[in-house]
Amino acid sequence: MTALHDLSITELARKLRTKVVSAVELAQHSMDRIEEHGKLGAFLATDTLETLRQAQAADERIAAGDDSLLAGIPVAHKDIFVTKAFASTAGSKMLQDYRSPFDATVVAKLAQAGMVTVGKVNCDEFAMGSSNENSAYRPVKNPWDVSRVPGGSSGGSAVAVAARIVPASTGTDTGGSIRQPASFCGVTGIKPTYGRASRYGMIAFASSLDQAGPMARSAEDCALLLSAMCGPDPDRDSTSLDMPPEDFTRKLDESIEGLRIGLPKEFFGEGLGDDVRRAIEEALEQFVKLGAKIVDVTLPRTQLAIPVYYIIAPAEASSNLARFDGVKYGHRAKDYVDLLDMYKKTRAQGFGDEVKRRIMIGTYVLSHGYYDAYYLQAQKIRRMIADDFQQAFKECDVIAGPVAPSVAWHLGAHGSDPLADYLADIFTLPGSLAGLPGMSIPCGFGAAGMPVGMQLLGNYFGEAKLLNAAHRFQQATDFHLRKPEGAL
């Protein structure tokens, strides 16, 4: 018999409704696995009583005839989403033990669908990082090789799924923070079009880039979660799109015969690891067997995405994080002589090195005399990057390529060189700057047997098309079913 933690959401839903297992038993199973895999550092907060209370309520819903496939399914939330029942720290000492008086909209929507929260998962501090080593509490370790990073900033979310602790988790993607850890950990993750999912209750990093999305083992499972997560939230999030909820599972089984997959030459140039290139090329061959057509496209401003992102994102971060001053909530320095001294000591003690680095960069590029030279120019190039994609989509339906230039690197490998982390985002940043939907699907293995993810990018509101392509690929391959030995 297949173990509970190896079942998909659809399979678990079937067992819940046929009373083979209860939501309480399923929740307890996940809680047991959290303890069993504690060395991975994935979870920051749990509450067994609260989780079992939610599970009991889910069992009652199912008994009353609730037909939601998500009712009773365990989920873990990235600790960037605020929650009433669990501490919300954003991976930072600045918010250590902070309790929110409300739930983030994404958390509330999944709860309304009947999902059971088993805890909050670790992340880079305020979602700033590409390795999950910037958490103020502890780094997260990749279950495929615990000496390697899981990717970031949603590393805890990816590890919770990859280690078979939970079938699904939430993440956020600002510059690739769903797609990159999904690739490094061999799971599936999708970032929807900017504005599809409400940002209300998501602790802000860069407001024009931050977007919530699901991580799970398959495109089918991600489609189920994304359907529940998305929808307008006009009263609480001004960037929320006025689009009705959508069933992203509706096109999963459609043929991809004739699907035009664009390959940007800029994604396959110097710097891409041979092992990653080989895995992507073999996956593309599988797409061709399924009826897709490969076309060459160009995204000429790809190389500009890194400098543009690392001007715009820090600028927005310096503004968003100004609220953490020790006055209303969060950490406050114990010893100070006046208000200004309290501000200085509070922020010096509460923020980690990477957050301080980005605040200083952002404050600099927004300062008088530099705003026009840096921030304004970056915004103009951002528009050009978005235009490049629109030109490319005249020739293709989806764009494919690597998620990252390499497989997961060793913990501490980039410790003295933050630019190395930044460069790892080269393939994910363009889509984020353009606000496009993008996802990562497991497509093979590279150096040292580490997972490789293929990135699929779609045009605005093209999530269903991406999920359809990913699902058809996963029906023909088993990369998404493979798991690290430590998850057995």
Matching residue, tokens 């927004």: 366
Give the active site residue among 30, 92, 100, 153.
153
Task: Please report the pLDDT score of residue 142 as a whole number.
Answer: 98
Instruction: Give CA–CA dist 294/185, Å, rounded.
Output: 27
Between β-strands 74-78 and 116-121, what pairing exists: parallel, antiparallel or unpaired? Answer: parallel
**Could you tell me the pTM of the whole model?**
0.97
Helix (H), strand (E) at residue 457: strand 451-458
130 as an active site residue: the answer is no
157 as an active site residue: the answer is no
78 as an active site residue: the answer is yes
DSSP for 296-338 reads EE--TTGGGHHHHHHHHHHHHHHHHGGG-SSSSSS---S--SS
Tokens of 155: 């590393």
Q: Could you give the domains of the chain?
A: 4-259+438-487 (3.90.1300.10)
- Each of the 488 residues of the chain gets a pLDDT tens digit; together they read 789 999 999 999 999 999 999 999 999 999 999 999 999 999 999 999 999 999 999 999 999 999 899 999 999 999 999 999 999 999 999 999 899 999 999 999 999 999 999 999 999 999 999 999 999 999 999 999 999 999 999 999 999 999 999 999 999 999 999 999 999 999 999 999 999 999 999 999 999 999 999 999 999 999 999 999 999 999 999 999 999 999 999 999 999 999 999 999 999 999 999 999 999 999 999 999 999 999 999 999 999 999 999 999 999 999 999 999 999 999 999 999 999 999 999 999 999 999 999 999 999 999 999 999 999 999 999 999 999 999 999 999 999 999 999 999 999 998 878 888 888 999 999 999 999 999 999 999 999 999 999 999 999 999 999 999 999 999 999 999 999 987 77
Give the active site residue among 8, 78, 88, 465.
78
* Buried/exposed code over 305-330 (b: 16+ C-beta within 10 A; e: otherwise): bbebbbbbbbbbbbbbbeebbbeeeb
Instruction: List, in order, residues 6 or more apart from 38 with CB less than 8 Å away.
Output: none
Give the active site residue among 169, 177, 227, 440.
177
Task: Please report the pLDDT score of residue 419 as a whole number.
Answer: 84
- Cβ-contact 407, 184 below 8 angstroms: yes
